[in-house]
A and B are shown apart, each in its own frame.
Chain A
Amino acid sequence: MTPFGLWSAQAAGRGVKRNEKVGGFGRARRVRCARVYPKRREAKKLSRIFGLSALFLSAALLVSASAQDSVRAALDQYCVVCHNQRLKTAALELDKADLAQVPQHAELWEKVVLKLRTGTMPPAGARRPDVATYDAVASWIETQIDGAARTHPWAGRPLLHRLNRSEYGNAIRDLLDLEIDSSALLPPDDSAFGFDNISSALGVSPSLQERYLSAASKIAAVAVGDPHSPPSSQTWRIRQDLSQNEHLDGLPLGTVGGVEVRYNFPLDGQYRFQAKLYRTNLNIVRGLETAQQVEFSVDGKRLHLASIGGPEDLASLFEKPTETGDAVDARLNVEVPILAGPHAVAVAFLDNAQFAEPARLQPFLRSSVDNFDWAGHPHLQTVTVTGPFQPTGPGDTPSRRRIFVCHPSSPSAETPCARKIIAELVRRAYRQPAGAADLQRVMKFYEAARTEGGFERGIQAALERVLASPKLVFRPERDPVNVEPGSSYPIRGFEIASRLSFFLWSSIPDDRSLQLAGQGKLSQPDELDREVRRMLADPRSEALVSNFAAQWLELRNLSNVQPNTNDFPDFDDNLRQSFRRETELLFESVLREDRSVLDLLNADYTFVNERLARHYGIPNVYGSGFRLVAIHDEARKGLLGQGSILALTSHAERTSPVLRGKWILENLLGLYVAPPPADVPPLKEQKEGEKPRTMREQMEEHRANPVCASCHKTLDPIGFSLENFDAVGAWRAQDAGEPIDATGVLADGTHVNGVVSLRQALMSRPEVFVTALTEKLLTYALGRGLDYRDMPQVRAIVRGASRGNYRFSALILGVVHSAPFQMRTSSEPRTTASPGRSSAEIRE
């Protein structure tokens, strides 16, 4: 079997351009046509690859009849030996396929393109064409398909979209100027195709519906400042592996450890702040040997300073651990008046120069290595805010300023003012001008509650009603009347405005966007360009970092990365957070400075703080804040040298060339890798007295199993090239006492040795990486999985962006101007719709 043996083309895609070094050229062997049974075929991988298409082909070749003849000749020479009407290998009958009708059979031909662009076919051992022929045949087929797609663009049809949790939170922020913790109000969303904004995965259920109702009621109460809000409490938990012996970014200078949280105080009133110290598994408070002070502050102003630790506490600790702990915690308690609105609450230890770490043979960077040790620096475990007690009023909060655009001076002014407030809320929340029926429905709630509890109570009820509406929670896009089934039509301006804002901001459109939509300007390409650039420059486009990049690059998985403390005793949450921040900042710099997306692979700069710089061996960086630094070490350039990626593709105690190979294939090259079959034997653990084996030796044992080998022959060699980075992304020259062997072979046969040559190999075919990124962006922008019908669009976006050196904005604009973004395909009758379902959807 070839390295590609288990990848079968089930969807259109793209891929690694073949390199001439592909093995197997010279070895003449009798071709064995694999018989692929349907069941096995399903278990096979999907790979999706393509390269630059028409660029390689001369125009003459495109139009001449002889081009078709040459393609036919190439197919006959290299493919038909297996894929013919008699053998029907992979159900492909290329001898019968009519080259005059390529676009009509695009699904089939995209598979062929995929095989050619990946070099998957002909298989190793069979006679293969030269690179020029590979390119010419693939390009000719692509040109046929793309030409037809231009005249009949396929737009697709995402299912009715529900706002996911983070979109809902951002919508509230932008609608009401109110920061809420949507993860506390709504359950997490399912994801598909790598993202949590995929409409087909955003289902509805009664319990979810109840959560939306309850969220609407709570948000309305806080936003308006319901004077009857009962006291409640919120607790923040600090990870135990967060080191608390160093200053943390954002906390007051002169403090170490602790936590800062943003909290929206619902009313002016008294609030109680309670911190609790971390205790060992036996409930012994940690770190009471030395006297310490704990500072409570709000918006940087000190509220309370508590003393803990020292000889007395220590003596009592051994006497009565639980009571002592409770007594110490009781000192970490203060009740003070706070004004309503958002405030930053910080609790941290004062930096105590006298504090000496207990003598250890090897001091670790992580300040609490296990749950058993009571000595060392104290740690905070939780901070709780409870209140309001004795509330004095709703105060003056950003949300009230946003909502109350008028204040009725007399009872008769109330109704017109309410109408004004509600019309504004409805317009922004429903993302289009408010209809009379919409207003009427909401006004009813205002009126009922107004009679019962006054004007503000009325507004609160109206707001709750607006927030609970399916017109906020869903993003409806309506079919025009009399549209022909299965045809694509441009969507309305307000729908474009919503698609734009949810793509770029993960939120609702702002006034400016709605205004442009109302004036019909979003259908003018220049206006649209300007609007996209404005939105990218807006701070809200940070959503592309936290939602798009964090999911594309799998950064969200970092919080689950827990390297074994015995092997990596220095690894702590501070480093974990720094990893994530570095990658986010790199992506953000490409976004904000409109750099080439290739900088993600190749940037000669990065962002580090002291902790991360120490991890990478970068000198002269001090403090908890991040800063831009130039990279002089070639190995650290770009994503492949970043701790985030290297750690999230490792196991707790060792690296995983498999996960690293998979991560690169899926996220940088756009190839899908199927999960392993059930009952895979694990790697053998090292027995007592046995010589430790290197990762490569272990993996080679693993590949002795032919079932494993079929996939791992492709995955592992890519991952091996990163073996110089250990499981937490630190540089190493040895593994198990042996020098690192970082040689590997890429899917297209390129030999690499180490991360630098791996990166160079990726950079040598930039369109491969850009296409992978484009597919991800388009998936995210549309909220649906892609299939073969989308491939012409993807190719067009990449071609367009290549002219501007793949600048970030060029990709975004390409997506925004593409047919699937601008248009929608009307629904077809059910019977014909199902066979047309994308293979991507079938994969679900």
Chain B
Amino acid sequence: MFVSKKVLPRRRFLKGTGALIGLPLLDAMVPAFTPQAKAQALQNLRFGAVYFPNGAIMQQFTPKTFGADFELTPILQPLAPFRDHLIVVTNLTRSHPGSQVGDHAVSAAGFLTGVWPKRTEAEDVLANTTIDQIVAQKIGQETPLPSLELATEDFTGYVGGCSPGFSCAYMNTISWSSPTTPLPMEINPRAVFERLFGDSGNSGERLARLRRESGLLDSISEDARDLERELGPRDRARLGDYLDNIREIERRIQHSEARGAAEIATPDAPIGTPDSFEEHASLMFDLTAAAFQADVTRVFTFMMSRELSQRTYPQIGVGEQHHSVSHHQNRPEKMAQMVKINTYYIQLYARFLEKLRSAPDGDGSVLDHSLLVYGAGMADSNGHATDPLPVILTGGGVGRGSRHVQLPVRTPIGNLWMNIAGKFGAPVPSFGDSTGKADVVS
């Protein structure tokens, strides 16, 4: 979500002091009125949710043992290097009314929302504000972009139902800024890059561009002051907002300069959308890692593929389509293929974690200061099972890692989101169909 940073409190502050113009920007006012102590306590904790479609072979996903010494399953093996920052959460379930389990659309729409979405193919979609947006509403104003929503498959032009009875909106995003507002997910890495870093190619050019912009801002402030002299009080106030904004942008520029643009390893500006899935997904992960490191945003969601995805993965020896494989009818050869796909996705995710771990951030790495969810809204997809959902938490934000946490059977996923919302200082009394806060991260 790309909403503007609120400057109102600062304006009020300026008016309160009677100074409209020429007041130096006080550090304590940035971000506007965030108590300094609290900002420190959060330590720029980032949140992310990565979604994979079509469920998983849960026998090969869920560790057999519990507690600190649990044994990693084949699918989870790529996460071994991050074990200290890892919690596997078992027995979560997605909301579903009675015996209805729903299918793929409901899985995507039910994961971060914690609700069963309204059955409709029309415009009157209804789900729930998602956990990423609850977090973004809390911490998103501290960065240029409150949150980032990414995907790799483009179905945005679709009208009507994408799964019988359920609107395409339910399948095209996992992030909702309100119960009625699905957030579109960006699939074009170029567009993502420009939002994050502007249109310049490499970091040196970017730095040069920032400096140029600084000069431009100085100069257009002079224009604004010309106008100010001629205007009445109400118009002057609006122009005052404008000048405040200019200073706010200057602050961001200085911030970026201070960090040294070279320090942040951004990918080269992509031209368009890569054809290969692996390249595409990796690029999205790289952009996210760079955005986290540059502190352009602290919240992201990424739907690695869409539910019902029919991709094939010849690169790992899976020639059959993802969705068809997922209805494996308990045939061992199909299940083995499904395990390959599940593992492949985790491998890509592990590469992202590695990127975050190698990115220095304050007293540690970006990974140390992240709380990331990896999971799906469907368990074994053969029968569209709603539990136990495959869910993994990673990053320093999980607290004590290296754990396999077994929750009571069929614990609503909203319980976990309550836990995470609290962790980000945005406690909620309930979340979707939650029955009470789960105690997973501390």
Closest-by-CB residue of A relative to B155 is A281
In the complex, what's the smallest C-beta–C-beta distance from A206 to chain B, in angstroms?
A: 4
Are A476 and B213 touching (Cβ within 8 A)? no
- Which residues on the A side are within 8 Å of B66 (C-beta)? none
- Which residues on the A side are within 8 Å of B213 (C-beta)? 213
- Which residues on the A side are within 8 Å of B271 (C-beta)? 230-233, 386
Say which residue of B164, B248, B275 sits within 8 Å of A326 (CB atoms): B275
Tell yes or no: A468 within 8 A of B by CB. yes
Tell yes or no: B321 within 8 A of A by CB. yes
Knowing A160-B239, A237-B156, A652-B122, the reply to whether A207 touches B2 (Cβ < 8 A) is: yes
Q: Which of A160, A206, A478, A565 has the most CB of B within 10 A?
A: A206
- Which residues on the B side are within 8 Å of A230 (C-beta)? 199, 201, 269, 271
Say which residue of A205, A465, A830 sits within 8 Å of B216 (CB atoms): A465
Which residues of A, 154-171, contact B by the 8 Å Cβ criterion?
157, 159-160
- Which residues on the B side are within 8 Å of A565 (C-beta)? 121, 160
Are B239 and A470 touching (Cβ within 8 A)? yes
Going nearest first, the 6 A-B pairs with the smallest beta carbon separation are A478-B230, A205-B4, A283-B310, A160-B235, A827-B232, A233-B272
In the complex, what's the smallest C-beta–C-beta distance from A468 to chain B, in angstroms?
A: 5
- Which residues on the B side are within 8 Å of A326 (C-beta)? 275
Tell yes or no: B279 within 8 A of A by CB. no
Tell yes or no: A683 within 8 A of B by CB. no
In the complex, what's the smallest C-beta–C-beta distance from B32 to chain A, in angstroms?
A: 11
- Which residues on the B side are within 8 Å of A802 (C-beta)? none
Are B122 and A382 touching (Cβ within 8 A)? no
Say which residue of A206, A233, A237, A826 sits within 8 Å of B245 (CB atoms): A206
Q: What would 30 A/B residue contacts be, using CB atoms closer than 8 Å?
A: A160-B231, A206-B249, A207-B5, A209-B242, A209-B246, A213-B213, A232-B272, A233-B271, A233-B273, A239-B159, A281-B155, A281-B171, A283-B321, A320-B319, A371-B162, A371-B168, A372-B161, A372-B164, A386-B272, A464-B216, A468-B220, A469-B220, A470-B224, A474-B227, A476-B227, A564-B122, A653-B122, A826-B232, A827-B232, A827-B233
Mask: chain A, 205-228; 1 = CB below 8 Å from B; 0 = not: 111111001100110000000000
In the complex, number of A-B residue pairs with CB atoms less than 8 Å apart: 170
In the complex, what's the smallest C-beta–C-beta distance from B210 to chain A, in angstroms?
A: 11
Tell yes or no: B219 within 8 A of A by CB. yes
Tell yes or no: A560 within 8 A of B by CB. yes
Are B235 and A322 touching (Cβ within 8 A)? no
Tell yes or no: B154 within 8 A of A by CB. yes
Tell yes or no: B203 within 8 A of A by CB. no
Closest-by-CB residue of B relative to A469 is B223
Are B157 and A237 touching (Cβ within 8 A)? yes
In the complex, what's the smallest C-beta–C-beta distance from B11 to chain A, in angstroms?
A: 11
Which residues of B, 280-328, contact A by the 8 Å Cβ criterion?
308-312, 319, 321, 323
Which residues of B, 216-244, contact A by the 8 Å Cβ criterion?
216-217, 219-220, 222-224, 226-227, 230-235, 238-239, 241-242
Tell yes or no: A437 within 8 A of B by CB. yes
In the complex, what's the smallest C-beta–C-beta distance from A317 to chain B, in angstroms?
A: 11
Knowing A206-B248, A239-B159, A281-B162, the reply to whether A384 touches B272 (Cβ < 8 A) is: yes
Closest-by-CB residue of A relative to B156 is A237
Tell yes or no: A238 within 8 A of B by CB. yes
Which residues of A, 560-606, contact B by the 8 Å Cβ criterion?
560, 562, 564-565
Mask: chain B, 125-155; 1 = CB below 8 Å from A; 0 = not: 0000000000000000000100000000011
Are B123 and A218 touching (Cβ within 8 A)? no
Are A207 and B310 touching (Cβ within 8 A)? no
Are B161 and A479 touching (Cβ within 8 A)? no
Tell yes or no: A393 within 8 A of B by CB. no
Which residues of A, 467-506, contact B by the 8 Å Cβ criterion?
468-471, 474, 476, 478-479
Tell yes or no: B163 within 8 A of A by CB. yes
Contacts A160-B238, A371-B160 known; list 7 others, CB within 8 Å: A203-B238, A207-B3, A213-B216, A235-B188, A371-B161, A478-B230, A564-B122
Tell yes or no: B190 within 8 A of A by CB. yes
Tell yes or no: A284 within 8 A of B by CB. yes
Closest-by-CB residue of B relative to A560 is B123
- Which residues on the B side are within 8 Å of A386 (C-beta)? 271-272
Tell yes or no: A204 within 8 A of B by CB. yes
Tell yes or no: B70 within 8 A of A by CB. no
Closest-by-CB residue of B relative to A387 is B271
A471 to B215, CA, bound (A): 17
Are B122 and A320 touching (Cβ within 8 A)? no
Which residues of A, 820-834, contact B by the 8 Å Cβ criterion?
826-827, 830
Tell yes or no: A105 within 8 A of B by CB. no
A204 to B239, CA, bound (A): 9
- Which residues on the B side are within 8 Å of A205 (C-beta)? 4-5, 7, 245
Are B223 and A323 touching (Cβ within 8 A)? no
Closest-by-CB residue of B relative to A829 is B233
A471 to B227, CA, bound (A): 8
- Which residues on the A side are within 8 Å of B224 (C-beta)? 470
Tell yes or no: A445 within 8 A of B by CB. yes
Tell yes or no: A441 within 8 A of B by CB. yes
- Which residues on the A side are within 8 Å of B199 (C-beta)? 214, 217-218, 230, 232
Tell yes or no: A321 within 8 A of B by CB. yes
Tell yes or no: B198 within 8 A of A by CB. yes
A382 to B158, CA, bound (A): 12
A213 to B209, CA, bound (A): 12
Are A203 and B144 touching (Cβ within 8 A)? no
Are B222 and A441 touching (Cβ within 8 A)? yes
Tell yes or no: A370 within 8 A of B by CB. yes
Tell yes or no: A444 within 8 A of B by CB. yes
Tell yes or no: A241 within 8 A of B by CB. yes
Tell yes or no: A523 within 8 A of B by CB. no
Mask: chain B, 234-271; 1 = CB below 8 Å from A; 0 = not: 11001101100110110010000000000000000101
Say which residue of A159, A283, A444, A468 sits within 8 Å of B309 (CB atoms): A283
Are B235 and A562 touching (Cβ within 8 A)? no
Are A322 and B190 touching (Cβ within 8 A)? no
Are B219 and A465 touching (Cβ within 8 A)? yes
Tell yes or no: A381 within 8 A of B by CB. yes
In the complex, what's the smallest C-beta–C-beta distance from B181 to chain A, in angstroms?
A: 14
Are A240 and B230 touching (Cβ within 8 A)? no
Are B223 and A471 touching (Cβ within 8 A)? yes
Closest-by-CB residue of B relative to A651 is B122
Tell yes or no: A315 within 8 A of B by CB. no
Are A284 and B310 touching (Cβ within 8 A)? yes
Say which residue of A282, A370, A468, A830 sits within 8 Å of B308 (CB atoms): A282
- Which residues on the A side are within 8 Å of B319 (C-beta)? 320
In the complex, what's the smallest C-beta–C-beta distance from B170 to chain A, in angstroms?
A: 12
- Which residues on the B side are within 8 Å of A241 (C-beta)? 159-160
Are B219 and A441 touching (Cβ within 8 A)? yes
- Which residues on the B side are within 8 Å of A370 (C-beta)? 160-161
- Which residues on the B side are within 8 Å of A282 (C-beta)? 308, 310, 323
Knowing A207-B2, A233-B271, A441-B223, the reply to whether A281 touches B245 (Cβ < 8 A) is: no
A320 to B312, CA, bound (A): 8
Knowing A159-B238, A230-B269, the reply to whether A240 touches B159 (Cβ < 8 A) is: yes
Closest-by-CB residue of A relative to B242 is A204
Are A240 and B216 touching (Cβ within 8 A)? no
Are B310 and A203 touching (Cβ within 8 A)? no
Closest-by-CB residue of A relative to B239 is A160
A208 to B144, CA, bound (A): 12
Which residues of A, 428-487, contact B by the 8 Å Cβ criterion?
437-438, 441, 444-445, 448, 464-465, 468-471, 474, 476, 478-479
- Which residues on the B side are within 8 Å of A827 (C-beta)? 232-234
- Which residues on the A side are within 8 Å of B158 (C-beta)? 240, 281, 371
A809 to B222, CA, bound (A): 41
- Which residues on the A side are within 8 Å of B226 (C-beta)? 437, 471
Closest-by-CB residue of B relative to A162 is B238
Mask: chain B, 193-219; 1 = CB below 8 Å from A; 0 = not: 000001101000000000001011101
A826 to B232, CA, bound (A): 8
- Which residues on the A side are within 8 Å of B223 (C-beta)? 438, 441, 469-471
- Which residues on the A side are within 8 Å of B222 (C-beta)? 437, 441
Knowing A235-B188, A384-B272, A562-B122, the reply to whether A444 touches B235 (Cβ < 8 A) is: no
